[in-house]
Amino acid sequence: MPRTKQFDEKEVLNKAMELFWEKGFHATSMQDLVTQLGINRASLYDTFGDKEALFEAAFQLYRQTNGGVIQGLFETEPSVKEGFQKLFQMAIDESVQDGNRKGCFVVNTITELIPGDEKIQSLLLENTINYEKLFTAFVQKGIQNGEINAIKNPNEIGLMLYALFNGIRVLAKVDPNPEKLKSIMKSGLSVLD
């Protein structure tokens, strides 16, 4: 009976993600979204709700996409040291290649929307703890397979590497210099030796 949608919902959400990722929540206006997404105002509201709901959907899409990549890398990579190196190198490459200097959507959101809305705040906390566990477990795996000295504390090292990962994403926004970022990675990963 009804008229069919003239746009692909996933495609549109992807564009919204890019926009919020680049400009942040407050600096992105609904007008920006209407223009860039190429769909009508009313369709935007009918499909995704208000600005906050759309942002949250876009953020979740980012989490899902990136989280999947990292989890996949950790699961398939037999060497833990190489796994971490690949992960950091991926982040560095992304920063260096991104002409828009978007940085990391998660980091951007943490710094922009805390303090603030409680919903997004708990989402950010949950996300962080997930990543910390992922990092820690991967270090643990390295200890179990003998790659990493069993004296090391996997929790401490996992947390540290995740913090460093975030720090790199901040610095890469100011100065996307591959050599410099590689130095940081090298020195950071030396804690695994």
Partner DNA sequence: TTTGTATTGGAATGAACGTTCTGAAATAGA
Partner DNA sequence: TCTATTTCAGAACGTTCATTCCAATACAAA
- Report the site for a second copy in 19-38 (rule: CB under 8 A): 22, 24, 26-27
Q: Does 81 interact with DNA (rule: CB under 7 A)?
A: no
Q: Which of residues 147-176 bind DNA (CB under 7 A)?
A: none
Q: How far apart are CA 126 and CA 115, in angstroms?
A: 16
Rounded to the nearest 5 degrees, what angle is found at the Cα of 112, between the Cα atoms of 178 and 45? 110
The pair of three-digit structure tokens given for residue 16, joined into one six-digit string = 């919204």
* Rg of the chain (C-alpha set): 19
Partner from a second copy, DNA, none contacting 71, C-beta within 5 to 8 A by type: none
Among 18, 22, 23, 32, binds DNA (CB under 7 A): 32
* Alpha carbons 151 and 31: distance in angstroms, whole number: 56
130 is a site residue for a second copy (CB under 8 A): no
Structure tokens at 75: 């699961």
Tokens found for residue 169: 């994403």
Q: Which of 101, 130, 145, 149 binds a second copy (CB under 8 A)?
A: 101
Binding status of residue 101 toward DNA by CB under 7 A: no
Strand locations in the chain (E): none
How many residues can be counted in the chain?
193
Please select the residue that binds a second copy; options are 34, 124, 134, 137, rule is CB under 8 A: 124
Region of 30-38, 108-116, 155-163, 179-187 interacting with DNA (CB under 7 A)? 30-38
Of the candidates 192, 191, 190, 170, the one whose C-alpha atom is nearest the C-alpha of residue 181 is: 170
Binding site for a second copy (CB under 8 A): 22, 24, 26-27, 100-103, 107-108, 110-112, 114-115, 124-125, 128-129, 153, 155-157, 159-160, 162-168, 170-171, 173-175, 180, 183-184, 186-188, 190-191
